[in-house]
Amino acid sequence: MSGLANRPYLKMNGIGNEIIVLDLTDGSHAVTPAEARAIAAREPFDQLMVLYPPQKAETDAFMRIFNTDGSQSGACGNGTRCVSWYFMPLAGKDRLLLQTPTSLVESRRAGQGFTVDMGPPAFEWQQIPLARDTDDTKAIDFSFGPVDAPILQAPSVVNLGNPHVVFWVDSDPTDYDLGTIGPQIEHDPLFPERVNVSLAQVRSRDHIVLRVWERGAGLTRACGSAACATAVAAVRLGRTERKVRVTLPGGDLLIEWRESDGHVLMTGSVELEHEGRFTADWFAHAA
């Protein structure tokens, strides 16, 4: 029987990004990819945020992030805000330092919401990563669609905990069939670790409208790391200021690419949908 049987969990969302928060800080179990997929089959989510005991003295917890397909993500800003809502009262703090397999993530209260420090972005082609060298990741030589009339072309690429490719579009992102386009680009050989696919329309110097196909999860109402990656890419191209509002189908995020240290700050709200408890039958086929 799975060690997750009878465990409580929280179903939350960060502006529509469906999140499950699971507290395993007692160190009694380690979630497997098969268990993550089994949970998604019963309680659909975009990301499963699992808290484990801290591995570094200065941190509050160690965190793993699972996608719907059981793969792991390097960052999830919306999920980290949900974790903050749950864990800050338990820790008796208004600020948390969480360790992931790839980085340290700091979050703090910000009015009725939370601000997550997503750290500095990475731009080198090896850091994205891409399968081949490219001189300028602000606008790479890549297109989607017919060679003589591509639907999308010259995207920006950024790594912000996860690899992101951002296509700039002139019309509303909902005008495009991202459900068809997204998985094809996610699995393109150019992206050896797959990629999050974003369609971004710049409405003004401080406003971007965004739609995201998330690797391992699919179409999502919100993706915090994609919003951050898009904001950074827009600044690099001179399209926006360093502080922008990013509108996703689930709502708005405020993004700042801080000039003093290059860190990206994301501020937004969270919502508790319900509390639940796993039962043994959820994991009958998750051996």
Query: Burial of 211 by CB count in 10 Å (0-12 exposed, 13-18 middle, 19+ buried)?
Result: buried
223 is catalytic: yes
Is 82 a catalytic site residue? no
Looking at the chain, how many residues does it have?
287
The active-site residue out of 20, 223, 228, 264 is: 223
Structure tokens that stand for 278 in this block = 């796993």
Helix (H, G, I), strand (E, B) or coil at 157: strand
Structure tokens at 19: 């999140």
Of the candidates 24, 65, 76, 227, the residue annotated as catalytic is 76
- 249: cis peptide before it, omega within 30°? no
Q: DSSP for 172-217?
A: -GGGS-HHHHHHHHHT-TT-TT--EEEEEEEEETTEEEEEEEETTT
- The catalytic residues are 76, 223
